[in-house]
Chains A and B, each alone.
Chain A
Amino acid sequence: MFDVYELQTRLANAALPSGFEAPQAKLLAELAEPFSDEVTIDTLGNVVARRKGEGTKIAIPAHMDVLGLLVTEVGKDGFARFDTIGGISPLTLLATPFVFENGRRAAVRAEAAQIEKAKTIEDFNDKRDMYVDIGVIDKETTEKYIRPGMVAKYGTHPTKLAGGRILATPYADDLICCVSLLLALENLKDVKPENDLYFVFTVQEEVGTRGARAAAWHIDPDVCFVADVCDAIDSPSAEFPIGNGLGKGPAIKLRDGGALSHRVIVDHIVDAAEENAIPYQYDPMVYGGTDARAMQHARGTVLSSGVSIPTRDIHSPYEMVSVDDVVNAGRLIAAAAAKKLTL
């Protein structure tokens, strides 16, 4: 039996940022293999796990890439300059430990001059005024460990809170949905699905849903159930006009910043939840896009909706989810995927 905390920990430990997903791709392929008819990895690096069936062709993407830093230069003084991979705000950059792919831990700090002149946090937005410190002695020692092109990720770890009911973790976005896909595959182990299923662990979502577009091209699905995180607005750090709470069930996608869900698909997932007594909410996300957009735009029309996991503090190094929501997302994806979907 898959355990949510254990899977998330293994994935978070393995994961590297967008464009560098090979380690987590290998791990996901291994984990999915016993529950799949076939697992393939395409040119871009998307991992496709198939459960073959006769019916509607459904792609179920969750992205396996994560946010991070890319070193662009090691300065004369030994301090490295960087750019971000994906959307990391200065609020997070300057307050988060990072770890490089070789295990070296690092802190991001701002130039003295920048600190003096910055009036608001927004003024920190220029990454030319920030640097990465790996415990720099001088340029020579830095260059033994860090060179341009290397990537770093959040140096935090999945942590159980509130007696294990809640998980605070780096990269819930979207590794926790990779976990829910694995749970769904496990749930479908002894089930003969009435649709033709393609579970896709996609690459490069955080830099513009690039992997899903390629995957949609070669899979050519009829339908897409996207599995991604959506905003939980039940803490002081979120004031979005709409959103969900932790522990109230996975959220069935109505829309996001890049795709409107199709009524037939939404109803299908709602029916699957009702029939299996799985608690659910709706995800009416306004901000941000998901792989659903890329799949819709890739070829002919793909009808989409999805199963989202409400998450506090998305893109922070401690995103927070309810373990029950993850388990129920796995159940809901499995139920909706197995249930005959007629267009």
Chain B
Amino acid sequence: MTDIFELHGRLVETAGISGIEQRTAKLIQELAAPLVDEIWTDTPGNVITHIRGEGKKILICAHMDVVGFVVRGVDEKGFVWLSRVGGVFHQFCWNRLLRFENGAIGTLRPVMGENREFTTKKVSDIGEDDYFCDLGASSREEALAMVSVGEGAVWVADRQLTEDGVIISPYFDDLGGCAVLLKLLEDLKESGNTGGNDIYIVFTVREEIGVIGALVAGNQIVPDYGIAVDVTTAWDSPSNRPKYEGYTKIGGGPALAVRDALLIADRRFNELLARAADENGIPYQRGFAKGGTDASSFQGVGSGVAVTNVSIPQRYLHTAEEMSSLHDAEQVAALLKAFLAKPLS
């Protein structure tokens, strides 16, 4: 049995920014290959798996890339200046270790330290020039022996699964989704029950910089139905809480997307999923995400695709302490398994 938390941990070890997903792709390919009829990697790097069936074509995807940084330059003292990749919040992204592609480690620090001008700087004005990476190098030459311009970097941070089943970790967005889909592949292999559906489970690249990989995957597959398995905004903490009840919360079950920044989900498709959830006693809620997801990018391929997100609610997206519920992630896999067990019409 695949343990989603443990599997996510293995994926986090391989994490790379958009465009640098190769190590993650390699691991996923190794894990998925024995579970599917065919598997290939396309030009941008999407890992596409196929379980053959006579019925409707369905594409289910999660993205492999994570948000992070890329080296802009190294100054004469050996400090590394960065450019963010994806929706990292400049404010409070620091006080972390960074791991560069080739394994070099450094600390990410705000320029103004604890005491200075930063305290009167406008929060909204904080930008890429306000933080840097310290490798402990004593010169530009020493630093350039450790990292090179253009190299990607990701956060290194502790992960924890709490007694209440909450995962505190960086990069559950969306390596958590990838772990869920690997679990789903295993479950489908084990049950052998895929409802005769023609199933493509895809691990996409470059989602965080504009849902690019999923478009390429959609063009190749031209599915009838499409689902993105991603994280969605949890509106259940003081930092992000509406004044009314009914909001998405962690631990409340999978979230069927109503909308996100780039998508209005297909309502009939959502009702099919909701029915499968009800029939199998799986709790679900509705999702209203602040960001966009892969589903929007293949909505328009071919003569149009019915799409939605089946999402894992999450607090503090794109920070090093993203919080999600392991229970929700497991229920996403369970819901998709139940849904795929019946022929789609």
Contact = CB atoms under 8 A, between A and B. Distances in A.
What size tier do the contact residues of chain A reach?
Answer: 35 or more
B118 A91 contact: yes
Interface in A242-281: 246-247
A112 to B, nearest CB: 5
B239 A318 contact: no
B13 interface: no
B43 interface: no
A207 interface: no
A111 B237 CA distance: 8
A120 B120 CA distance: 5
A217 interface: no
Give the interface size class of chain B. 35 or more
B94 A95 contact: yes
Nearest to A87: B114
Given A97-B320, A121-B120, A161-B135, 14 more contacts: A79-B237, A95-B110, A97-B321, A120-B119, A121-B118, A122-B119, A133-B315, A162-B138, A235-B134, A236-B75, A236-B109, A236-B132, A313-B109, A318-B97
Interface string A105-127: 10101111001001111110000
A19 interface: no
Contacts of B120: 120-122
Interface string A123-139: 10000000101111100
Nearest to B321: A107
Interface in B136-156: 136-138, 142, 146
Interface of A: 77, 79, 87, 89, 91-92, 94-97, 104-105, 107, 109-112, 115, 118-123, 131, 133-137, 141, 144-145, 155-157, 159, 161-162, 165-166, 168, 234-239, 246-247, 287, 312-318, 320
B160 interface: yes
A131 B236 CA distance: 13
B231 to A, nearest CB: 15
A79 B238 contact: yes
B136 A165 contact: yes
Contacts of A246: 136, 138
A94 B323 contact: no
Contacts of B136: 161-162, 165-166, 168, 246, 320
Contacts of A141: 164
Contact of A107 (B111, B134, B316): B316
B95 A92 contact: yes
Nearest to A155: B158
A237 B241 CA distance: 34
Contact of B238 (A111, A137, A313): A111
A315 B95 CA distance: 11
A232 B142 CA distance: 20
B105 interface: yes
Interface string B274-313: 0000000000000000000000000000000000000000
27 contacts: A77-B238, A79-B238, A92-B114, A94-B91, A95-B95, A105-B321, A111-B239, A112-B241, A115-B239, A120-B120, A121-B123, A122-B119, A135-B162, A137-B251, A156-B97, A157-B158, A161-B135, A162-B138, A168-B97, A235-B79, A235-B109, A236-B109, A237-B111, A246-B136, A312-B134, A313-B113, A314-B114
